[in-house]
Amino acid sequence: MKRCTFCLVLALSVVPVTARADILSDYLDSWSARAHEAMNSEPHWIPPINTITPRLTQVARYDQAWQSTGAPASIDTFGGGKGVEVIPFSTTSFTFNIPAYSERSKKGDASGWLDCPIIVVKERLISAAPQDGDYIVTGYLIAQAPTGSAAFTNHAWLITPGLGFGKGWDDFNVEGGITFALPTAHATAIGTAVTTNLMGQYHLSKYLWPEVELNDTTWSGGSRRGLNQLFMTVGSVFGNFALIDNYSLGIGLGYQFALTNHDISAKVLNPVYDHNWILSLRVAY
């Protein structure tokens, strides 16, 4: 194996610089066609408000959240940890996210940056276009960096593997997934968060995609050991509205509320908030 690897490196090293430049140029020139071919071989649903879509998409996204707890306190989050997703290969996408900024008021005032899920890798395992079955299964791997301010950071990297799925029936589709957030340090304090999502979405008209989502998180270990929180989100995504060339605009608006009763016996706030307004802006390309 070492000999084969050495031979491969040697072979690449003797490729003329101009030839390597041509290979890179051809790869970049065919990027858009390759990405759209990948998207054409899977379902064509619009990404939901909260649930990670198992689809491979090319989109730049900005989310805004206005949370309120029963304390009462309010938490406004700018950016939502979203960023830009690209499809460099036929079954793989990378999402490069920007850190979100949060402002907490009325109780324990604080503001600053949140820990950032700097990259999300999707590997599509199986898929079918609408005319061929309209389904998809995708693996996830998320890396969250401890880049947040003192009031908001976990002080540890989180590595989150997961699995997403979806199935469509004409204008209706169901998407869901499960992820496991595994801390690389301070595990006894942070614990492992298991998050499951299930969403139903209907394509009501050309530009209207109403949806209902259930988002559940359970903790094992850490300060939230044994706790659980369940939220429901109702809302809709509007789009995609054509802009120029291959660019289009989508706008999501949702209202999220806790189905879990506040646990007054818990040492931490559970659920972490009572209700939440969400705005999601996306530009697909």
Show the domain range for 126. 41-284
pLDDT for the residue 23:
78
Report the CATH number at residue 178: 2.40.160.40
Instruction: Evaluate whether residue 253 is within a structural domain.
Output: yes
Instruction: Evaluate whether residue 28 is within a structural domain.
Output: no
Other residues' Cβ atoms within 10 Å of the Cβ of residue 278: 20
Instruction: Evaluate whether residue 9 is within a structural domain.
Output: no
pLDDT for the residue 8:
47
pLDDT for the residue 26:
78
pLDDT for the residue 2:
44
Instruction: Evaluate whether residue 3 is within a structural domain.
Output: no
Instruction: Evaluate whether residue 82 is within a structural domain.
Output: yes
Instruction: Evaluate whether residue 1 is within a structural domain.
Output: no
pLDDT for the residue 14:
60
pLDDT for the residue 11:
56
Give, for all 285 residues of the chain, the pLDDT tens digit: 445 545 545 555 666 667 667 777 778 888 999 999 999 999 999 999 999 999 999 999 999 999 998 767 899 999 988 999 999 999 999 999 999 999 998 767 899 999 999 999 999 999 999 999 999 999 999 999 999 999 999 999 999 999 999 999 999 999 999 999 999 999 999 999 999 999 999 999 999 999 999 999 999 989 899 999 999 999 999 999 999 999 999 999 999 999 999 887 778 889 999 999 999 999 999
Is the link from the previous residue into 271 a cis peptide, with omega within 30 of 0? yes
* CA distances (Å), origin 159, targets 81, 136, 181, 183, 190: 15, 23, 6, 6, 13
Instruction: Evaluate whether residue 80 is within a structural domain.
Output: yes
Amino acid (one-letter) located at 45: W
Cα separation, 115 vs 98, whole angstroms: 10
Instruction: Evaluate whether residue 35 is within a structural domain.
Output: no
Give this prediction's pTM: 0.89
**Number of domains the chain contains:** 1
Cα separation, 126 vs 24, whole angstroms: 28
Query: What count of Cα atoms within 13 Å lies in the side-chain half-sphere of residue 278?
Result: 24
Q: Quote the tokens at residue 273.
A: 């908030």
pLDDT for the residue 126:
98
